[in-house]
Structure 1
Amino acid sequence: MRLSLSYKRLYSWFKSRHFGRSATDTRYALLEACLIGILSAIAALLLKEGVGWLGGIRLQTASQYGPWVTLPLAGLIFGGLSGWVLETFSPAASGGGIPQVKAALARFPIQLSLKVAFVKLIGTILVLGGGLTLGRRAPTVHIGAALAAQLCTWVPTSPEHRRQMIAAGAAAGLAAGFTTPIAGVLFVVEELMRDVSGLTLETAIVASFTGAVVSMLLQSADLNVPAVLLDTVKTSFSAPEIPFYIFLGALAGLLGAFFNKGVLYFSELQKRLNLPLFLRIGVIGCFSGFIIALLPPFFRDNAGLREFLINGELSNSSIMIAFVAHFFLTMLAYSSGAPGGLFAPALVMGSALGYLVGKVEHFVTGTPTEVTYALAGMGAMFTGVVRVPITAIVIVFELNNDFNLVLPLMITCAVSYITAESIFRGSLYQHLLLSSGIPFKEEGTNENFLSHLTASDVMQTQVETLSSESTLDDVLQIMSVSHHRGFPVVAEDVLVGIFTQSDLDKLKQLSGKTLLKEMMTSQPITVTPSTSISDVLFLLNRYQLSRLPVTEGHKLVGIITRTDIIRVEVNQLSGQSLDVVKPAPSYVIYQTRSPAIGKGRILLPIANPETATALLQIAGAIARYYNYEIDCLQVIKVSRHSSPSETPVDTRDARKIMHRLERIGRHQKLSVHTQIRVAQDISEAIIETIKERHIKTLVMGWKGSTSTQGAIFGDLVDTLIHHATCELMLVKLSANSLLFPYYLNPRATWLVSLAGGPNAQRAIQLLPALTKLYARPDTPEVWLCRVYLPSDPDPDYQSLQEVTQTLENKIAKPITPVPICSRSVVDAITDLANAKQCDVVILGASKEGLLKNVIHGNIPETIAKNVDSTVILVRGSL
């Protein structure tokens, strides 16, 4: 107990210091930045040593057993293993990492955590050790940002402070990877986030400096050009060389733009192939190993290749081969989603390109300055690919510490940037984010994601309401057990007022029998489902409210509170909602609307035209009883790589079905709406419809067991049960019921089970509506069954009689109670249904949950398989 109290005091002190500090008190933030810099440098060291160790084994094995088998096999095994690790443990760790950090800093919900950092580390070691021509600096940036994000989850912090720490982690990662502290800060400012506050800049500087210093001490980076190379030929610059540097910059910009287009093209191509990540990376690793085995031996060591290029130890043909091979192999490797970066490959390609241009200049002027051109080419190619000219200038300068390089770098990087932007505008990372479904704006003016949300995206659809005829005593009793402090007041499902705890404080003199309609706030402020969250926040602040009812017409469809908005923001900023790429929203290509005169809506998805009419009769019986409308839906599925809004589909058969259901609805005086949607995922389209149309009840066909792939209610049923918050009815139609689509069997016997807890009670409540399926008033014959265990010494027969009496009053015909003693509910109901030749069996989902029962063959599935009856399974709203 004493330890617990001490911990609480320490936590409270830290929290108050952490959240209560002023804008000028940045000591704690800077301390965190130092820690992030140290962790990033350690991660850079682990990455370097891991890649060096695994790459050394690859080269040693290749020299011992020959490169023709060893190099392709290493690329296949290590690349495939890397993809498997990513897919299994953290898909968010795939790719270069810069797009993810860029999106996270723009407040998009990207997952960054310790798991992401660890999986990124392992995946990068496997990929680079396997021989793929990628770099390890971009993964270091990703790892640094992920470590910073994890630190912010361990230490209480605000979303904005978390964002500042992620920026600091990214800067530290780049600084630790190259030992270039200034470039680390500039990269954050120039590429990752362009709206830098003072504290963000301070923490980025501290983290970058710490990461670079610790990296230097640990020797985590090895990209610096050795001084012995620069001593052989001094770098120089003269005015007559300016045209050659302009030519170098233009050539680098042109090739950089084509490189980025190639990456995007191959990325889309591999998405269309829809291969697993481990197979994509493995195949490209194998192909890269085969190509490298064909090339001269110097190409097998990526770390030593750059030194060969700068030092001029290779012939012109070898340099050209090195550039072309690196260009295309890096393009393929990066487009596969492999965890590796473009920084080092861009520098290697730039040094080869610069050396070739330097050779031309040497031939024309006779001045041997190939080294200067090679180093200037590094910055130019880096700019053409990554589009950060200032960072490119500083990073190459920091790597070499030679002031003679500044002017050549400024010329080549500026020309490269202008040329690349003229040919293919926008950062490669921006285009990659757009292709993955993240609407990123390069200008740095990304709006807060809340500005794109509406009330329907945030509201709670299951609302605790009060009746306007409730008394004050009833209200007090309800509020004493509810965690809510405000309730919409309804009369016949129409919002007529709102009652909150503040209203209660003003009514202390009233009698306990006072009706709520005399105490409530009439004509409350409401919003529609399409109201933007910015408008919702304005109304909450303007009128000092804690909640707003959401209405469609006069019908209450949800409620939105400040807590709901905060919850959504926290989930988004912590990256919880984008663990995987979600399918694109469905697209409505056809719809009809009837008068919206009902108190609620029933959704009827149509998968099988043969069962559509019978299902409509069941939905129609409920609609008539409760005064509901019916929404008939058909979903046309398209490929995951096809846009639902742009893919042409044939709707002729679907429209025929919808026209037939509309005619039946008009004949039976039902309000029937229809719509046809195109979607990548059928279950998501149904859930979207439930949300958009504010569905009360979902009625869908069910085969009684998991169905073949492509059926709308087989493999999809578990998804709908998890996420469809409305009431749910699964209907397994028997063959006999299909012969009588309008009335089912006119001499039917129905068996209703009381097993299933609250869901069974809901099934019983629906029974009076379902019996309206029949034209004759003396049908059906209803058997009400309850199973008692043999071990029960005192069975409660009284409750069975009470339910029977209640149903008789509602249906106005006799109900037969059937108590059964059995050890198995399944066997008892199945035997009774078969013995009495019951036409319909109505069940409530058991307390273990409907999904568990369907998957493991518990009560519903077993009964549905073993009886020839129509089986109706009911699950109440979540």
Structure 2
Amino acid sequence: MMQGEQPYTPVRQARFVIVALFAGALTGIFGGLFHVAAESLVFWPAWLGRHLDGWALVVACSLVTMAATLFAAWLTRRYASEAGGSGVPEIEGSIEGLREVRWQRVLPVKFTAGVAAIGSGLVLGREGPTIHMGGSAALAAADLCKVDGVDRRALLAAGAAAGLACAFNAPMSAVLFVIEETRRQFPYSFRTYMGVFAAAIAGTTVTELISGLRPFMFIETSRAALGALPAFALLGLLLGVVGVLFNHGILRMLDLAAAMQRRVPYLWPALVGLAIGALLTLAPQTVTGGERVIAELVVATPAFSVLLFLAVARFFTSVVSYSAGTPGGIFAPLLTLATCIGLAFGMAFDMAVPGLLRSLEVTPVSFGVVAMAALFSASVRAPAVGIVLVVELTGAYALTLPMLAACLASSLVAEWLGGRPIYEQMLERTLKQAGVVPPAEVQPEAGLTADAGLRRSKGA
């Protein structure tokens, strides 16, 4: 408690939790409607396919996706530039006092442009928009209920957690997301921690009432023998490298898109839309967020060569789609990319040592599930969130120990290679573009806090 601040009595604590429930419910409304709207657009390529075929279908899909991508990029840049991309760095920066969340603009822009981008087939996840909308809805609740100071920052984080819970029906991973991902910014106390629980519960409940019970990614797995742990750790080593490359690819592609935007505005999102739209017909498993692709791969696992092709293709379509400047997250694309790599690794291991996996009661699908958590850990550097998120999504509780081994290996390799958490790098990039001094670059002897750094950047 800050000096001069009134003590938090049980009544005031209860009031804060009630406001957090309200913020979570608001998030659930936006998250549920967002999911319904995005899902309603998933099958438009199939509808076009009933009326067109051949190259006419390819051209039509390309034009539709290009138009949707351009619309989403224009709407974002015109009315709320901070609504582009995931939104997680914006939330973290706001909790730290370095960014401002203009919720009146972010909510409508993130919703509309996000539905257009994700529904068009771009390789983006819905968790980024729902996290950003969750934080924005929490600020709306804070303004309505006259909440400020530390409680306002805590509500922002709680709303973001509710947004993640809404996206994947994963309330426990949402709570851990605040603990791991915003550990540097979140104002911890019993009151604020309970607020995160309340928002996650309310957000998940309201979303289920609107869009139904999810996820549809349940994957049946069995407990792997202890002798298989070295194989899962080896997979983690590989994914540690992939995670660093993925983060590097995202940042470099964002730089390329920014340079092209300065030269020829909106050319880059137009090109991205054309390419992704064509792939919707020519190679549909290489595009879209990927939840349905994961379900298809684990049921009917394709050949090893096909999995390698999908892994390489989805790596590039993911980083390219994110650079278009539209709202969208990276969680779902990361999980799908990891599934392709994990399944391919399991097949390769089985071919290299025939019969060993069967004796250890392990299948390639087990490697695909474990890979999701390992790649998430290498990129986001939040292993506990990755493990719990995958378990809540797939129901693969039996693979918790292999996930721990793979996440340990992937996180260590990513660290040793000099990789850094993707959202931390995105936030620093955004702050530098805005002329704000990132906390890590403020000299200790100057005695500047994060707020002081923001004021100094504004010429205060």
Q: Note whether the superposition's TM-score is higher than 0.5.
A: yes
Residue type at the aligned position of 2:342? G
Aligned to 1:218: 210
Aligned ranges 1:91-110 → 2 under 5 Å: 91-110=81-100
Query: 1:277 Cα shift?
Result: 6.4
Structure 2: 5+ residue stretches without partners: none
Aligned to 2:166: 176
8 Å Cα contact 1:430-1:442 kept in structure 2 = no
Aligned to 1:281: 269
2:8 alignment partner, SS class: coil
Residue type at the aligned position of 2:188? S
Q: Provide closer, same or farther for how the CA distance between residues 366 and 156 of structure 1 changes in structure 2, counting only shifts above 3 A.
A: closer
Aligned to 2:67: 77
Residue type at the aligned position of 2:449? E
Deviations 1:464-514 (A, max 9, x none): xxxxxxxxxxxxxxxxxxxxxxxxxxxxxxxxxxxxxxxxxxxxxxxxxxx
Structure-2 separation of matches of 1:409 and 1:254? 17
Aligned to 1:423: 417
8 Å Cα contact 1:62-1:70 kept in structure 2 = no
Question: Following TM superposition, where does structure 1 have runs of at least 4 consecutive aligned residues deviating by more than 6 angstroms?
Answer: none
Aligned ranges 1:256-267 → 2 under 5 Å: 256-267=243-254
Structure-2 separation of matches of 1:282 and 1:210? 39
8 Å Cα contact 1:79-1:278 kept in structure 2 = no
Aligned mate of 2:177, from 182, 187, 197: 187
TM-score normalised by L of structure 1: 0.47
1:432 aligns with 2:407: no
1:449 aligns with 2:439: no
Structure-2 separation of matches of 1:276 and 1:173? 35
Aligned mate of 2:41, from 37, 42, 54: 54
Query: 1:119 Cα shift?
Result: 0.7
Structure-2 separation of matches of 1:277 and 1:100? 24
1:22 aligns with 2:12: no
Aligned to 2:350: 362
8 Å Cα contact 1:266-1:335 kept in structure 2 = yes
Deviations 1:801-845 (A, max 9, x none): xxxxxxxxxxxxxxxxxxxxxxxxxxxxxxxxxxxxxxxxxxxxx
Aligned to 2:281: 293
Aligned to 1:42: 29
Identical positions, percent: 25
Residue type at the aligned position of 2:72? S
Aligned ranges 1:290-369 → 2 under 5 Å: 290-295=278-283, 297-299=284-286, 302-363=290-351, 364=353, 365-367=356-358, 368-369=362-363
Structure-2 separation of matches of 1:93 and 1:455? 22
Query: 1:442 Cα shift?
Result: 7.1
Aligned ranges 1:398-797 → 2 under 5 Å: 398-436=392-430, 437=432, 438-441=436-439, 447-450=449-452, 453=455, 457-458=459-460
Q: Provide closer, same or farther for how the CA distance between residues 442 and 73 of structure 1 changes in structure 2, counting only shifts above 3 A.
A: farther
Aligned to 2:115: 125
Query: 1:417 Cα shift?
Result: 1.0
Structure-2 separation of matches of 1:277 and 1:22? 51
Q: Provide closer, same or farther for how the CA distance between residues 236 and 107 of structure 1 changes in structure 2, counting only shifts above 3 A.
A: same
Q: Provide closer, same or farther for how the CA distance between residues 331 and 173 of structure 1 changes in structure 2, counting only shifts above 3 A.
A: same
Query: 1:337 Cα shift?
Result: 2.0
Aligned to 1:204: 196
Query: 1:68 Cα shift?
Result: 1.3
Deviations 1:147-175 (A, max 9, x none): 11122223322232210110110010001
Deviations 1:93-119 (A, max 9, x none): 112111111111111132231321111
Aligned mate of 2:154, from 164, 185, 188: 164
TM-score normalised by L of structure 2: 0.87
Q: Provide closer, same or farther for how the CA distance between residues 56 and 293 of structure 1 changes in structure 2, counting only shifts above 3 A.
A: closer
Counting matched residue pairs gives 434
2:43 alignment partner, SS class: helix
Structure 1: 5+ residue stretches without partners: 1-18, 459-878
Structure-2 separation of matches of 1:239 and 1:204? 36
Residue type at the aligned position of 2:84? S
Query: 1:336 Cα shift?
Result: 2.7
Aligned mate of 1:388, from 382, 390, 393: 382
Q: Provide closer, same or farther for how the CA distance between residues 113 and 326 of structure 1 changes in structure 2, counting only shifts above 3 A.
A: same
Query: 1:448 Cα shift?
Result: 3.1
When structure 1 is superposed on structure 2, of 141-150 and 195-204 the one drifting more is 195-204
Q: Provide closer, same or farther for how the CA distance between residues 433 and 236 of structure 1 changes in structure 2, counting only shifts above 3 A.
A: same
Query: 1:456 Cα shift?
Result: 11
Structure-2 separation of matches of 1:452 and 1:135? 31
8 Å Cα contact 2:164-2:170 kept in structure 1 = yes
8 Å Cα contact 2:35-2:211 kept in structure 1 = no
8 Å Cα contact 2:73-2:326 kept in structure 1 = yes
Structure-2 separation of matches of 1:236 and 1:20? 52
Q: Provide closer, same or farther for how the CA distance between residues 294 and 275 of structure 1 changes in structure 2, counting only shifts above 3 A.
A: farther
Query: 1:20 Cα shift?
Result: 6.5
8 Å Cα contact 1:58-1:70 kept in structure 2 = no
Structure-2 separation of matches of 1:124 and 1:101? 17
Deviations 1:709-761 (A, max 9, x none): xxxxxxxxxxxxxxxxxxxxxxxxxxxxxxxxxxxxxxxxxxxxxxxxxxxxx
Structure-2 separation of matches of 1:452 and 1:441? 10
Structure-1 separation of matches of 2:50 and 2:287? 11
Residue type at the aligned position of 1:268? D
1:33 aligns with 2:20: yes
8 Å Cα contact 1:176-1:220 kept in structure 2 = no
Query: 1:313 Cα shift?
Result: 3.3
Structure-2 separation of matches of 1:86 and 1:276? 17
Structure-2 separation of matches of 1:257 and 1:200? 33
Task: State the structure with more CA Rg.
Answer: 1
8 Å Cα contact 2:338-2:371 kept in structure 1 = yes
Residue type at the aligned position of 2:103? S
2:102 alignment partner, SS class: coil
Aligned to 1:151: 141
Aligned to 1:255: 242
Query: 1:36 Cα shift?
Result: 1.5
Query: 1:92 Cα shift?
Result: 2.1
Query: 1:319 Cα shift?
Result: 1.9
1:304 alignment partner, SS class: helix
1:64 alignment partner, SS class: coil
Structure-1 separation of matches of 2:224 and 2:331? 25
8 Å Cα contact 1:137-1:178 kept in structure 2 = yes
Deviations 1:266-287 (A, max 9, x none): 1112222215764432321112
8 Å Cα contact 1:249-1:377 kept in structure 2 = yes
2:302 alignment partner, SS class: coil
Residue type at the aligned position of 2:85? G
Q: Provide closer, same or farther for how the CA distance between residues 450 and 326 of structure 1 changes in structure 2, counting only shifts above 3 A.
A: same
8 Å Cα contact 1:236-1:369 kept in structure 2 = no
Residue type at the aligned position of 2:392? E
Query: Which structure carries more relative contact order (alpha carbon 8 Å, separation 6+)?
Result: 2
Structure-2 separation of matches of 1:183 and 1:175? 7
1:314 alignment partner, SS class: coil
Q: Provide closer, same or farther for how the CA distance between residues 99 and 74 of structure 1 changes in structure 2, counting only shifts above 3 A.
A: same
Structure-1 separation of matches of 2:229 and 2:415? 21
Q: Provide closer, same or farther for how the CA distance between residues 157 and 55 of structure 1 changes in structure 2, counting only shifts above 3 A.
A: same
Structure-2 separation of matches of 1:207 and 1:298? 35
8 Å Cα contact 2:286-2:314 kept in structure 1 = no
Residue type at the aligned position of 1:326? R
Give the aligned CA root-mean-square deviation in angstroms. 2.6
8 Å Cα contact 1:249-1:414 kept in structure 2 = yes
Aligned to 1:142: 132
Structure-2 separation of matches of 1:272 and 1:183? 36
